[in-house]
A and B are shown apart, each in its own frame.
Chain A
Amino acid sequence: MTALTFLLRRLGLSVFVFIGVLVLTFFVSRVIPGNPAALYAGARPRPEQVAAIKVKLGLDKPLPEQFLVYVRDLLDGDLGESYHSRRSINTDLSIFLPATLELVIAAVIIALILGIPVGVLAGAYPGSVFDYATRLAAVAGVSVPSFWLALIAQFVFFSTLGWLPLGGRVSRDISLFYPIAAQTGFYIIDAAISSNWRAFFDALHHLILPALVLSAYPLGITIRMTQASMLEVLSETYITSARAAGISQRVILFKLALKNAIMPALTVVGLSFAYSITGAFLVETIFSWPGVGKYVTEAVLNVDFPVIIAVTLVVTIVYILVNLFVDLLQALLDPRVRLG
C-alpha cells in the first residue's frame, strides 16, 4: 500500500465517521426524546418558551429538514445557547475545552511515560515477581472507579500529607496577583511563554493530582498492551537472530524489540486519550477543575440538554482527530507502509 492511498483511505473513513457522528447526535437530540423542545427549554419550561424553541430549532418541520438546519447551524459554528446560563456554548467551550485538554494530555503523558517502560520490562521477564506485580497494578488501574480514586487521593495528598492542593487550576492569590495571560488556554503553556514562573509552578502543582488520578485507567491499559505486544515481539525470529548475533539484552529490549512493540502500542495513545476524557467527565467536579467534564455534569444536574449534546459532538470530533493523527503517525513510523 502506498502512502498516498493509505492517507486518502484513512481521511475518507474519518469524513464518513464524522458524518455518522452528526447523524447519531442528531438522532439522540431530536428523535430519542419524547418532546425535544421541552428538553431544550430546560427544567420546568413555560409553554411559550417551548414554542419558541420549536420554531428556533425547526422542530415543526420534517426530520430531514431539521437535520439540514442542525448541520447548517454547526457549519456556521453555532453550538447554541445554554438554557441554564443563557450564555453561548461556543464561548463556554473555548474556555472549558483547553482546560480539559490540558488535564487529559497530562494524564496521557503520565500513562505513556510510566506504562511503556514498565510494560516492556514486564514483557521481557515473564513469570518474574516484577511481572506479577505489574499485572496486579495494571488490573487495579482498570478496575478502580476514577471518581472514588479522586476522593482517596484528595484525602491522602491534601488532607493527610498536605503536599498538593485540593482542586482548581491555580491558587486564588496567583490568579489575583500573577494572572496568566490567556493565549492557548493551556495554563502551563501560557504561563511558560509569558515567563510567569510563579503561576507556572502553581498551575503545575494543581495539575498533578487530577492528572495522576485520570492516568490510572490509561496506565493500566498501556501496561497491558505494551506487555502483550512485547511478549509477542520477543518470540519473533528476528529477536532470536539478534540474540544469536550476540547483541546485548539492553539493545534488544529497548532498541530492537521496543520499536516493534511500540507500533501496536501506539494505538494506546488513542485509547488513553479516550479513557482520560471519560475519566475527566467523572472527576473534574471533584477537583473543581473548570473543564468540559464539570460543564457537562453541571448540565446534567440542571437538565441543560443543549450543552450535553454540544459537548458530546465537540469532544467526539477532537477524539476522531486524535485517532486520525495516531494512525498517520503509525503509518509514518512503519517503513513497510511508507515505502511499500
Chain B
Amino acid sequence: MKVEVGSTLWFLLRDRAAVISAAFLLAVALAAVFAPLLTPYAAQGMGDPDLGSKFTAPGIKHPFGTDGLGRDQVARLMFGARRSLSMGVLVVVAAMIIGTPLGLIAGYLGGWVDEALMRVTDVFLAFPPLLLAIAIAAALGASYVNAVAAIAVTWWPWYARLARAQTLSVRERAYIEAARGIGVRHRVIMRRHVLPNILTPIVVQGTLDVGTAILVAAGLSFIGLGTQAPYADWGVMISDGRLYFLSGRWWLSTFPGLAIFLTAMAFNFLGDGVRIAADPRLRRVL
C-alpha cells in the first residue's frame, strides 16, 4: 500500500464521520493535556478526597457529580484521560517498536529467520486477546507501566506481520536491487531504504489500533491490574462506581464508560476513514 498523502487527506475531509471523530479526539486530548488549567478541582483529579461532598449527584457545581471520596468526576475524567489515552498510545508505540524491526528483518532475510519469526507470532496469537496480558501483568505485579508492557508484549506480532508483508513487497523494487548490486551492506539497506518505505502503512495501522488498545487497557485496569489508587483511569473509575451503580449512584460508572465508548468509536471511524481514503480501490464505496 503506497499512501498518497495529498489525495488521502482530500478524501478524508469528505468523510464527515472521520472529521467529527478527529475533532472529538482532539478535544479529549486537549482536555487531558490542559486538565490542571481547565478544572478548579485539579487536586481531586489526582486523588485528593473531599469528604464533605461525598456522592453529590450531577448539578451545577459538579456536572458529572462526585464519587465516594467527594472527588469531582469531571476532574477525575480529565485526569483519567491522561492515563487512558497514554496507555493506548504507549501500548501501540511499544508494540510497533518491538514488531517492526523483527518483521523487517524476517521479510528482508527470508529463509529460516522468516519461518522462525512467523511461527513465534503464531504462538502469541494463539492466546485469546487479554488473557496472556492478564497473566503477564499478574507476573510483573499490578501497575500502570506493567499493564502497558503486558499488553504491548501480546500485541507486537501484529506489527511484525504487517512489517514483514510490506518488506516483502518493497524488497524486489529496483532501487533496493541496485543498492544490493553495488554492495551496500544489508543493515544499511534495511535502515535507509526499506524502513522509510514500509513505515507509513504501519503508522496508519497503529493509529487505528489506539482505540482498541484503550479498550484493552481499560479492561486490565477494571480488574485491578492497571492504574493504581490514588490515581484513576477510565477503567478504574467504572470499577470504583460499579458497586453503587444500581443503588442510585448511576453517574459514577456512566460517564467514564461513555468516555471509553465514544473515544474508541471515534478511533474506529477515523481509522475506517483513513483506510478508505488511503486505498483508491475502496474510494468508490463512498
Contact = CB atoms under 8 A, between A and B. Distances in A.
A–B direct contact (CB < 8 Å): yes
Interface of A: 13, 16-17, 20-21, 23-25, 28-29, 32-33, 39, 126-127, 139-140, 142-149, 151-152, 154-155, 158-159, 166, 231, 273-275, 277-278, 281-282, 285-286, 296-297, 299-301, 303, 305, 308-309, 311-312, 315-316, 319-320, 323
Given A17-B122, A20-B126, 16 more contacts: A17-B123, A21-B126, A23-B123, A32-B139, A139-B269, A140-B265, A143-B265, A148-B256, A151-B238, A152-B254, A155-B246, A158-B246, A281-B219, A281-B223, A312-B131, A319-B126
A12 B267 CA distance: 38
B122 to A, nearest CB: 5
B215 interface: yes
Contacts of B120: 20
B224 A300 contact: yes
Contacts of A305: 138-139
A303 B140 CA distance: 11
A147 B264 contact: no
The DSSP consensus for interface residues of chain B is: helix
Interface in B69-119: 119
Interface string B127-160: 1111110111011101000000000000000000
B226 to A, nearest CB: 11
B128 A24 contact: no
22 contacts: A20-B123, A21-B123, A24-B132, A39-B139, A140-B265, A142-B264, A147-B219, A147-B222, A147-B238, A148-B256, A152-B254, A155-B250, A159-B246, A275-B129, A282-B219, A282-B223, A285-B223, A300-B134, A300-B224, A308-B135, A312-B132, A323-B126
Contacts, number: 151
Contacts of B126: 17, 20-21, 316, 319-320, 323
A127 B127 CA distance: 37
B208 to A, nearest CB: 12
Interface centre among B119, B223, B246, B269 (most CB of A within 10 A): B223
Contacts of A32: 136, 139-140
A145 B123 contact: no
A275 B119 CA distance: 22
Interface bracket on B: 35 or more
B261 A308 contact: no
Given A139-B268, A139-B269, A281-B134, A24 B123 contact: yes
B22 to A, nearest CB: 15
B254 to A, nearest CB: 8
Nearest to B265: A143
B55 interface: no
A278 B128 contact: yes
Q: State the 7 A-B residue pairs at the shortest beta-carbon distance, nearest first.
A: A20-B123, A148-B257, A143-B264, A143-B265, A274-B128, A278-B130, A312-B135
Contacts of A308: 134-135, 138
A308 B101 CA distance: 31
Given A17-B122, A142-B268, A300 B223 contact: yes
A315 B224 CA distance: 21
B261 A144 contact: yes
Interface centre among A33, A143, A151, A281 (most CB of B within 10 A): A143
B261 A145 contact: yes
B238 A143 contact: no
Given A126-B285, A143-B211, A145-B215, A277 B131 contact: yes
